[in-house]
A and B are shown apart, each in its own frame.
Chain A
Amino acid sequence: MSPAVRAAALGGGYAPGDEALAGVDFALDPGRIAAVLGPNGGGKTTLFRALLGELPLRRGTVELAGRPAYVPQTDRTRLDFPVSALDVALMGAYGRTPWWRRVARADRVAARDALARVGLGDAARTRFGELSGGQRQRVLIARALLQDAPVLLLDEPLSGVDAVSAERIEAVFRELREEGRGLLVATHDVEQARAWDAVLCLNRRQIAFGSPAEVLTTGVLQETYGHELVVIGEHRAVAVEHHEH
């Protein structure tokens, strides 16, 4: 079985001499969810850019089972932009719609289905900026569902979302896994990572990749997070978020 994602000696940065990420080597099979752990500035978003082929300077090789769908952090979107949740979900079909054509009727149906799947079937006409943070995140996931991609890259989809949204999002992740898609999910939550199939630890380079049991040791986490790690008891550790604004 060929992997959903394979990276070999992957690295690079945004400007010459700037090494944002180095030495990334891993393979993720279809139907698997991998957590991507690391401190802020540790290279999680850079990894996604590299996998998408959008990193200005990239070294190493990337193999993908198909064009990946990318779910950005919601605060990267323009909240003042006058579009509805349905409009945003429909953007997932733009890539396969020629620029002179209207979006296909089947895609309009699919967009409504995708919104229903993330539990926002009733909010299709609601303006995107008026939704809660968790709801916005779910709309962006619905957009990725519409892309029907074999690989999904999600940038902290569970950071700062409400409990209802988090539950719904994790349920969708399980469905996507069942469908045989590969998911890379950037997160700060070590406990969450434990529930998934694999863990990739980054701190400007790859610290570890493997099953949660192998990777989530205090030693690896300390190397990953450095001073951002707070160890609680013998088998528990919490990564502290330092947000830069």
Chain B
Amino acid sequence: MLSWLTDPFASDLMRRALVEVLVLAVACGPLGVWVLLHRQSYAAESLAHGMLPGLVVAALAGAPLVLGATGGVLVAAAAIALAGRDARLGGDAGVAVAVTGLFGLGALLALSPDVPARLGELLFGDLLGLTGADIVEATVLAAVVVAALVLAHRRLTIGVFDRPTAPSLGVQPARWEAWLLVVLAVATVAGVRGLGSLLVVALILAPGAAALNLARRLPAALALAAGLAGLAGVLGLLVSYHWQVAAGASVALAAIALFAVTLSFGRRRPGLGVP
């Protein structure tokens, strides 16, 4: 039994993957709690889709993936903000229009004959192909995410709990919602190498949703989300090793499975807009 747990991590490859998922878990779990409480899960999903053109352009130019991801996320965030501002479209429709367009553009670029065949890696990551430098990069970005969430903690709290009163309490909610989107973008960039732009969303949203099902207070929810995200990472890697299935997808599915388990605890489902 013990060897079933330890054997997989005998190789450097798997150990690096383990460090990567644990590092990402610490950032993505708590972030997910805030994203869900701010009802921005759709934006999280969309940002991940919308950055595809940036990733493809980076792959085309041979530039570092993190640069392409950053550029792609900035363009996507700007497009979402602009489209959402148009009153005729409204929030959700604006996001849908911006993101579908960008995803289409990304696919168009990726399927052109000049691009190396890496579309799958961009979308689903390559957890078992990580270098030490990749992990350092992810660690730095994850630290930025955690610091940004800690600093904004009180502002984010008021914005969710009591938006209409926030200005009289000295907090401008719109400013901190924008802050959350930026943090979300950083987290997505952090996770793109390991989990890909699509699967990282699962590690952000599913543990957060599970934690909100279980925890009664915010600090507990934030800590629990980090723990559950880490657990999903470990479980996913174990499943991936023993059953010879894709690592990133296993981690994402493990996160979703943990969320499904917490549903059966179903004491009282808060209306959190879980996707």
Contact = CB atoms under 8 A, between A and B. Distances in A.
Contacts of A52: 167-168
A62 to B, nearest CB: 14
B248 to A, nearest CB: 30
A96 B168 CA distance: 12
Given A82-B212, A82-B218, A97-B154, A92 B164 contact: no
Contacts of B165: 70-72, 76
Contacts of A54: 167-168
A87 B156 CA distance: 13
Contacts of B215: 82
Given A80-B272, A81-B37, A82-B215, A72 B164 contact: yes
A91 B218 contact: no
Given A91-B157, A94-B154, A97-B154, A78 B167 contact: no
A95 B170 contact: yes
Majority secondary structure, B binding face:
helix
Contact of A100 (B151, B168, B217, B218): B151
Nearest to A53: B167
Between A54, A78, A147, the greatest number of chain B beta carbons within 10 A of the residue's beta carbon is seen for A78
A127 interface: yes
A127 B158 CA distance: 15
B120 interface: no
A171 interface: no
Contacts of A80: 270-272
A83 B218 contact: yes
B271 A91 contact: no
Contacts of B212: 82
Between A70, A80, A88, A97, the greatest number of chain B beta carbons within 10 A of the residue's beta carbon is seen for A80
A94 B170 CA distance: 7
Contact of B158 (A67, A72, A94, A103): A94
A52 B167 CA distance: 9
A224 to B, nearest CB: 25
B33 to A, nearest CB: 9
Interface in B209-226: 212, 215-218, 220-221
A81 B160 CA distance: 8
Contact of A92 (B169, B220, B221): B169
Interface of A: 52, 54, 67-72, 76-78, 80-84, 87-88, 91-92, 94-97, 99-100, 103, 127-128, 143, 147
Given A67-B168, A80-B272, A103-B154, 18 more contacts: A69-B168, A70-B168, A71-B165, A72-B165, A80-B271, A81-B37, A81-B218, A82-B216, A82-B221, A82-B270, A83-B217, A95-B169, A95-B170, A97-B154, A99-B154, A99-B155, A127-B216, A143-B169
